[in-house]
Structure 1
Amino acid sequence: MNRAAQKNTTTGEIRPRPAYRDRNVLRWLVAYSASLLGDGIYFVALAWAANSVASPAEVGIVMAMGSIPRAVLMLGGGVVADRFGPRAVVLGSDALRCLVILAVAAALVFSSPGLWVLIAVALVFGVVDALFLPAVGALPPRITEPSEVVRLQSMVMLAGRLSRTTAPPIAGMAMGLGGSAAAFALAGALFCLSLALLWAVRIGSLPADDTIKDAAPATPTTPWRDLVEGLTYIRRHKVIGPLVLSGAMSQFGIIAPLTVGLVLLCDQRGWGAGGMGWISGVFGVGTTSMALLLTVRGRLPRAGMVQNVSLVVASAGIAAIGLVPSLPGAVAVALLSGLASGVCGGLAVSLIQTATDRAYLGRVSSVMALTGVGIAPLAYPLFGVLTEFTGTAPLYVAGGALSALGATIGLASRAVRGAELPEVRA
């Protein structure tokens, strides 16, 4: 039984403690947040260090190097997590990140590393990320009850939003005090903190049926066979398959309009950097508000249907941002889209994780991470190139339409429409 369970003195029923009151969950969340913050500071420090020894084009090369092994090896990282256990992989990859980043900080103190050293660091970091991301994504269902997964995922969304907001200014302050070396040292310290906290996190054992599936098979398996088996499991699952495909399409459709697209749109409309800040900011307020709501409620009824309907609303909002002629109108639409995105994002991940056999959590998590950090960013250059021919508005509409098409995949599936999250026993 979960050690965080508590007893209802009236009925005698044993119920899980809410995720936001579970010390073990909060310990994991702080560790994950420290790791995310360290990531953000590392990327800023890497860019600054590269800029001091390389041309702008070479800086771009350094920053892109980490994405190559991350995209190529991500699926393999899921296989490793399922073979050796996500806890061991997370601890090992976090320890390696500590060593690499602190070594770079020391090198910057005593010398000036050349371009190739920074490229090597980016490549190593990308390889480690390919192991870390699937493993850390497989942990939430193992550290809390199924009924609390949606709360935990909502808290993860909040942690991600906070880390992305605070990492650049914190990195800037560190570099102002001690240059890139200080920023790398701070990132390394955060990875060390994450490692220490993760070491203390209690990881639940697998249920009996999953333990049997995790046991050594009668015939030896290979990593390739494990990978194919995981992809087949996703494709055949009536809930996971449609939701993973829907998520990939929606991310590919909306990630570019919300990032590089905003820069181009606000420049063309004359809204400037202030307008971009308003649109991006209220979108973040919307997603954060819904993450807070899901953290408190823990569950929404008819989760599968609500997830897909909210994705349709979010997609329509993205398309409308490119069509609304005034900045106040675009801000209002962005807020609505952010609210809907906060709902569909939190519910989608929770539905997938609670439906996944724990023996496949690493591989399922790796596919989800690959679509988010490997495939979706490919839309950045595509958006920029097509803008030269079509302008930004048609691309916003096309992105929203692609995202909405992903929602239709979920709506077309009876299993997804009827999918529910486990009951929260208050």
Structure 2
Amino acid sequence: MTTGPPARSLPREPLGDPRLRRLVVGQGLAAVVDALFLTWLTLFVLELSEPGLTTGLVLVAVALPRAVLLLPGGVLADRLDPARVAAWASWLRVAVLLALGAVITFTSPSVTTVALLAGLLGMADAAYFPAAMALLPAVVPTEKLSRVNALVQGAESGGDLVGPAAAAGVIAAVGFGAALAGITAVAVVAALALGTLVRLARLGEGAGPDAVDGDQRLGGLHSLGEGLGYAWHEPLVRALLTAVAVINIAVVGPVLVGGAVLADQRLGGAGSLGIVLSGFGAGSLAGSLIAGWRPPGRRGWTVVGGVAAIGTGTAGLAVVTDVVTATAVVTLIGLGSAFLGVVIVATLQERVSRQLLGRVMSLVVLATVAFDPFSYVVAGILLPFGTTAVFLICGGAVLACAGLVAASPVIRSLR
């Protein structure tokens, strides 16, 4: 496995090139669309039915196809070209949003209809996410990957931070139909921007890590097995994916579920949870931008330190007694998580063979998306023992992961 040169047709200053600005705009706006639509969907389903199981089932209709099809989506990106798959998936999103807009405008939609269309959007996401992440090395010079990743992930964090309030405000002002039309318009701009990159990415073919001979000729299941085998047997990829998975399982559930109980018991009421979670969003945005502005020189020890810091912060929530301290700790956890995410994704984009990158990126997304339910289950199992136990056990698990990562020679030597 080697690290190849940057795409030859591109200048060395990615953000000064209008084509690469279109990449950042396209992927950034796509992330904003995700944040806005999730809020729109939740509120619209609540309008159609009583709060409860129905809302959860519609959200599952989005999440389940996305999780199940992520790995095949990675195979698709590797076999058909990530730029083309990202563009197709973006236009499929637009088509689904237009169909949903027509349904709510001209009919009296049922929850089932909305759920089916939401499921199609989840299928589009499964193709889009690995393709979009695999696309970056095809159009971005290697030394600038961290900066571009930071801008894209920063847009995602910013959307998560302001998206719910913005979507709710627009819905209250103009209604569901007009709000969905606005979200669709943003999705169209994102698809147009990404569509212009198909030819650009093809110009960079042959650059980057060495190809795996004959991989393009493998069948779908064989290709999937090839990607899973590579991720398992390659020490660097295995270590980084393990860190992502452990952090997601041990932090997401405790912060959301355990944080709600902590807010009610120690921080002055459930209303304080919103303040604490806003701190996480702000920290994530800051962490993404810092990682792009000042990429670390010693990546291996940065990964170890980042995992250890997240574990320490999670364990530290066991002793917080006021909302200011809790918000500060959660902000640092968000900052560390986002910083680490940029470093890990950029490292994999640089070092994984281009013909396997879509499959590896699908595993990264899977580790950050599909494991959320397991994290909630872990938090639920531990909560009867008290919030102190939740945060100490989960924080300890992340710290143990930091120790395992530090024990890897390939991580320690990573630059």
The TM-score with structure 2 as length reference comes to 0.91
Give the CA deviation at 1:107: 1.6
Distance 1:80 1:109, change over 3 A: same
Aligned 1:369-384 pairs, distance under 5 A: 369-384=365-380
Q: Does residue 264 in structure 1 map to residue 264 in structure 2?
A: no
In 2, are the aligned partners of 1:255 and 1:377 still within 8 Å (CA)?
A: no
Work out the CA distance in 2 between the residues paired with 1:252 and 1:212: 33
Aligned 1:117-156 pairs, distance under 5 A: 117-156=113-152
In 2, are the aligned partners of 1:71 and 1:375 still within 8 Å (CA)?
A: no
Q: Does residue 315 in structure 1 map to residue 315 in structure 2?
A: no
In 2, are the aligned partners of 1:2 and 1:144 still within 8 Å (CA)?
A: no
Work out the CA distance in 1 between the residues paired with 2:299 and 2:36: 36
Work out the CA distance in 1 between the residues paired with 2:208 and 2:140: 18
Could you tell me the percent identity over the aligned residues?
27
Counterpart for residue 8 of structure 1: none
Aligned 1:360-399 pairs, distance under 5 A: 360-387=356-383, 389-399=384-394
Work out the CA distance in 1 between the residues paired with 2:172 and 2:208: 54
Amino acid of the residue matched to residue 40 of structure 2? A
Counterpart for residue 25 of structure 2: 30
Work out the CA distance in 1 between the residues paired with 2:44 and 2:325: 40
Question: What is the CA deviation profile of residues 277-313 of structure 1, one whole-angstrom value per residue up to 9, with x for unaligned ones?
Answer: 343333334333333333223x311111111112101
Distance 1:79 1:176, change over 3 A: same
Counterpart for residue 212 of structure 2: 213
Amino acid of the residue matched to residue 192 of structure 2? A
In 2, are the aligned partners of 1:174 and 1:186 still within 8 Å (CA)?
A: no
Work out which of the residue numbers 368, 390, 395 in structure 2 matches 1:400.
395
Question: What is the CA deviation profile of residues 94-131 of structure 1, one whole-angstrom value per residue up to 9, with x for unaligned ones?
Answer: 11111111111122112211121011112111111111
SS at match of 1:55: coil
In 1, are the aligned partners of 2:243 and 2:307 still within 8 Å (CA)?
A: no
SS at match of 1:138: helix
Distance 1:50 1:286, change over 3 A: closer
In 1, are the aligned partners of 2:284 and 2:334 still within 8 Å (CA)?
A: yes
Range with greater deviation from structure 2 (342-351 or 150-159): 342-351
Give the CA deviation at 1:394: 0.9
In 2, are the aligned partners of 1:247 and 1:406 still within 8 Å (CA)?
A: no
In 1, are the aligned partners of 2:40 and 2:180 still within 8 Å (CA)?
A: yes
Q: Does residue 77 in structure 1 map to residue 76 in structure 2?
A: no
In 2, are the aligned partners of 1:87 and 1:139 still within 8 Å (CA)?
A: yes
Give the CA deviation at 1:195: 0.8
Counterpart for residue 176 of structure 2: 180
Q: Does residue 96 in structure 1 map to residue 95 in structure 2?
A: no
Amino acid of the residue matched to residue 50 of structure 2? S
SS at match of 2:48: coil
Distance 1:284 1:314, change over 3 A: same
How many positions carry a matched residue from both structures? 405
In 2, are the aligned partners of 1:318 and 1:337 still within 8 Å (CA)?
A: yes
Work out which of the residue numbers 398, 412, 419 in structure 1 matches 2:414.
419
Work out the CA distance in 1 between the residues paired with 2:96 and 2:208: 39
Give the CA deviation at 1:135: 0.8
Counterpart for residue 3 of structure 2: none
Question: What is the CA deviation profile of residues 68-88 of structure 1, one whole-angstrom value per residue up to 9, with x for unaligned ones?
Answer: 111111111101110111111
Work out the CA distance in 2 between the residues paired with 1:338 and 1:38: 21
Deviating above 6 A after TM superposition, structure 1's stretches of 4 or more consecutive aligned residues are none
Work out which of the residue numbers 228, 231, 234 in structure 2 matches 1:234.
231
Question: What is the CA deviation profile of residues 145-164 of structure 1, one whole-angstrom value per residue up to 9, with x for unaligned ones?
Answer: 11111111211221111111
Counterpart for residue 248 of structure 1: 245
Range with greater deviation from structure 2 (266-275 or 205-214): 205-214
In 2, are the aligned partners of 1:49 and 1:180 still within 8 Å (CA)?
A: yes
SS at match of 2:414: coil
SS at match of 1:325: coil
In 2, are the aligned partners of 1:105 and 1:180 still within 8 Å (CA)?
A: no
Aligned 1:196-207 pairs, distance under 5 A: 196-201=192-197, 202-203=200-201, 204-207=203-206
Give the CA deviation at 1:20: 3.5
Amino acid of the residue matched to residue 224 of structure 1? L
SS at match of 2:175: helix
Q: Does residue 46 in structure 1 map to residue 41 in structure 2?
A: yes
In 2, are the aligned partners of 1:35 and 1:194 still within 8 Å (CA)?
A: yes
Work out the CA distance in 2 between the residues paired with 1:364 and 1:336: 28
Work out the CA distance in 2 between the residues paired with 1:209 and 1:185: 40
SS at match of 1:394: helix
Question: What is the CA deviation profile of residues 331-372 of structure 1, one whole-angstrom value per residue up to 9, with x for unaligned ones?
Answer: 333344344334322212222221111111100010010111
Work out the CA distance in 1 between the residues paired with 2:59 and 2:103: 19
Give the CA deviation at 1:234: 0.9
Distance 1:332 1:207, change over 3 A: same
SS at match of 1:90: helix
Work out the CA distance in 2 between the residues paired with 1:80 and 1:199: 17
Work out the CA distance in 2 between the residues paired with 1:208 and 1:187: 36
Give the CA deviation at 1:385: 4.7
Amino acid of the residue matched to residue 63 of structure 1? L
Question: What is the CA deviation profile of residues 235-265 of structure 1, one whole-angstrom value per residue up to 9, with x for unaligned ones?
Answer: 1112111111111111111111232322221
